[in-house]
């Protein structure tokens, strides 16, 4: 973005611009940035809301699900939109919140066929997916396309977040080498989820995006941040790049996106 801010923009972003680490230069970076959010569910809807509010210039939103009444306990941007595609519902929310934001929607399932094409034009990717195959697909596509990514996951009262910066630390496969056996981890529908939890983790993800774009603070690269809502505790686990990682290691086995590496299983988390 070039030129000066409008009077409305100065009023809208004043509390952000006044921060020494942001300023007018940082706000212009945000308005010129392009962020892709994969999943407009619990994690994604929270990230979308705050990224739009902060003035991220372009938000890409990928989701092929419809809004259901059971979503509304945690997916706060979809109120009144039951039966509408989540991507379209999210677009409507963003447009009503901040007209500065250009919204690009993809009412399709993120897959091995379209992964590289979708993410290639964005500066940062937010993983708000709800199952292990998609977590790995997002990670591998980001590594191969050299895109930074914030991964998040939630179940019951617990969640975690980490950020991966290609060629500068561990990727998702370095931390979670293999998915758990099918059936070991219940999904959200089976196990439930505390309604505020995706808001907490999704906003941590949004914070990582903003810090990366602004070039401030310390990211969760090489760190897995875990949260338990029942006892309100956070703890970190250190993560290191694995030389034998299948996608970012010294001798990668995955050099292109192929569907065989992302077979569906029943080990679904709750995110969408």
Cα–Cα distance, 58 to 61 (Å, whole number): 10
Helical H runs in the chain? 7-12, 14-17, 23-32, 42-54, 86-97, 115-119, 132-145, 172-175, 188-191, 197-214
CB 217 within 8 A of CB 19: no
Backbone angles phi, psi at 71, to 5 degrees: -75, -25
Residues acting as catalytic residues: 188
The residue among 158, 164, 161 whose CA lies nearest residue 138 is 164
Distances (CA, A) of 254 to 144, 172, 184, 199: 9, 14, 26, 33
Tell how far CA 130 is from the center of its chain: 11
Cα–Cα distance, 45 to 272 (Å, whole number): 9
Is 103 strand, coil or helix?
Answer: strand
Which residues, in sequence order, are bridge partners of residue 193? 156
């Amino acid at each position: 973005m070039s030129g000066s801010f409008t009077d409305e923009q100065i009023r809208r972003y004043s509390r952000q611009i006044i921060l020494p680490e942001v300023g007018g230069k940082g706000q212009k970076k945000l308005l010129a940035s392009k962020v892709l959010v994969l999943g407009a569910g619990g994690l994604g809807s929270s990230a979308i809301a705050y990224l739009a509010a902060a003035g991220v210039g372009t938000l890409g939103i990928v989701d092929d699900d419809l809004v259901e009444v059971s979503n509304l306990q945690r997916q706060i941007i979809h109120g009144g939109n039951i039966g509408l595609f989540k991507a379209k519902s999210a677009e409507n929310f963003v447009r009503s919140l901040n007209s500065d934001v250009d919204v690009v929607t993809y009412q399709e399932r993120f897959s091995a066929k379209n992964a590289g094409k979708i993410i290639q034009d964005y500066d940062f990717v937010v993983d708000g997916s709800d199952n292990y195959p998609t977590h790995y697909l997002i990670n591998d596509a980001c590594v191969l396309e050299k895109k930074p990514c914030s991964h998040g996951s939630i179940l019951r009262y617990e969640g975690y977040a980490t950020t991966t910066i290609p060629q500068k630390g561990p990727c998702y496969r370095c931390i979670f080498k293999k998915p758990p056996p099918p059936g070991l981890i219940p999904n959200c529908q089976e196990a439930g989820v505390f309604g505020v939890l995706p808001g907490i983790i999704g906003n941590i993800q949004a914070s990582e995006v903003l810090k990366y774009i602004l070039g401030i603070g310390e990211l969760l690269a090489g760190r897995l941040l875990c949260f338990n809502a029942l006892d309100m505790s956070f703890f970190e686990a250190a993560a290191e790049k694995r030389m034998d990682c299948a996608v970012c290691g010294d001798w990668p086995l995955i050099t292109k996106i192929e569907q065989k590496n992302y077979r569906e299983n029943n080990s679904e988390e709750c995110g969408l």
